[in-house]
Structure 1
Amino acid sequence: MKATLTYIGLIVTTLVFSQNTEDSFPNAIKKHIKEYNKQSDLAFKENETVKAQVLFDSLVSNYLIGTQFQDYTLKSFEKKKTKLSKFKKPVFILTYASWCVPSKGEFQALNKLAQKFSKDVKFVILFWDKKHSIKKIAQKFNHNITICYAHETYKNDALIVSHLKHTLGFPTSYFLDENLKVVNIKRGGAQPNRKSSFVQAYTMNYNAFRDGLGSLLIGKNIKDEQLTTN
């Protein structure tokens, strides 16, 4: 155990030189993404998945949490354009793509969480696709989740694609407070074993997203929820 902790500590040290002093998320990601990508790519090349996760968590905790997210204008599937600041509440954004294969129970878990907490948090799933590509997948989500899309070929999407898709990739979860300050950033949902039952996979995904939402729902009891698939 001691050797493992030392190993992880060395990994973090190679990426972290100072605590976050950046004002904006775009500036912070621009400043630190090159070094992160260099080390992350090497970790994946060497099949060091634990190291890769530690590097991601270190980037987020030391440089991105506390930065100011840009007030992007989102295009929803319902043909509405809305700035993030118009939501007037904490925002959970999950970036995705129509061709991504969701894990078992992932979308059901998101729907359940949105049903429970949409009064307190705005749920947004942002697909890196053209509108016609998400027509079918958009139907898998309930009305508590706002489905949006952005694509490189749309002239007004250049910034959000550059800042989010081309840096931290997808699926990625962004947790923002009501003032659009970054509270946390995580990878997508859980990765249950293929042999896991639906209930097991659903529960893993529910817990993964719920833990992230916990940073936005301080003071609310979300730890002792009875998990069901209804």
Structure 2
Amino acid sequence: MVRVLLFFFTIFLSVSGNAQDENLYFSEALAMHLPKYDTKAQKAYRADDEERAKFLFDSLVNNCLKGSYLDNFKVKNLKKRVIPLDEIKKPLYLITNASWIVPTKGEVPALNELADKYHDRIDFVVLFWDNQKTAKALAKQYHKSIRVLYVDELSNESNYVIKNLKHSLGVPTSFLLTEDKKIVDIRRSVTHPYGVKSEESFNINHKAFSEGISTLLIRDSSELSQHAPEGKLP
């Protein structure tokens, strides 16, 4: 009987373990938990239960994906050079997007203002699921401190990246990452009713981006303090 109980206890631990395991990658966490999430989320969307769908997404992120490490996905810059994400050394605010998604009025201006203010401590990246020509045109609206990268789905060269970063959680989605690419949070982009004035849209987006930035800065300062002399923060 004791052996049976130990067996089921071991199975329980292996199944209930989440992304807090030190060496668990994002792609591995997705493989473990995404199928169950997809089944429940699709049911919620079919029932037009947005509140349930949001709860399921937040649960997936908080219980299964936070604490995992983003894989060293390879994307391209606007000069078509391959960029491994590990090449980015600061804490990272990564936004995945696509040209067919129309941003809210205040989204890009709010991001531009905050990137200009915090780019010395955080790297801001917008990753488009588009070809190089389209990504290059879209890049003109962003501040110079925001790096615009892309993955061309039609080139069939990055199926692994597309499967994990685009088709798993959809777009637009933001990934908040420490400098060693540990996932601090994953967030949906802000939405608001159509017809909201530009100033109000800016404020809504500014607040959302600021919360994410604060999360990264607090996490970064906390980790730095662990290696600093007592009573001092680098």
TM-score w.r.t. the length of structure 1 is 0.83
**What amino acid is aligned across from residue 210 of structure 1 in structure 2?**
S
Q: 1:48-101 deviations in whole A, cap 9, x for unaligned?
A: 111111100100010100001111222111433322222211111100001111
**1:60 — aligned with what?**
61
**1:75 — aligned with what?**
76
Larger Rg: 2
**2:198 — aligned with what?**
198
C-alpha displacement at 1:214, in angstroms? 1.7
C-alpha displacement at 1:213, in angstroms? 1.9
1:157 aligns with 2:158: yes
C-alpha displacement at 1:18, in angstroms? 4.8
**What amino acid is aligned across from residue 152 of structure 2 in structure 1?**
H
Flag structure 2 segments of 5+ consecutive residues without an equivalent.
1-14, 221-234
**1:111 — aligned with what?**
112
**1:20 — aligned with what?**
19
Q: 1:118-150 deviations in whole A, cap 9, x for unaligned?
A: 111110000011112223221110111011110
**1:213 — aligned with what?**
213
Give the superposed CA RMSD.
1.9
Number of matched residues? 205
Structure 1 range deviating more: 55-64 or 72-81: 72-81
Structure 1 range deviating more: 38-47 or 169-178: 38-47
**2:41 — aligned with what?**
40
Shift of the 39–74 alpha-carbon distance from structure 1 to 2, 3 Å rule, reads same
Shift of the 21–178 alpha-carbon distance from structure 1 to 2, 3 Å rule, reads closer
**What amino acid is aligned across from residue 212 of structure 1 in structure 2?**
G
Q: 1:157-181 deviations in whole A, cap 9, x for unaligned?
A: 1211011111001000001100011
Aligned sequence identity (%): 34
TM-score w.r.t. the length of structure 2 is 0.82
**2:3 — aligned with what?**
none
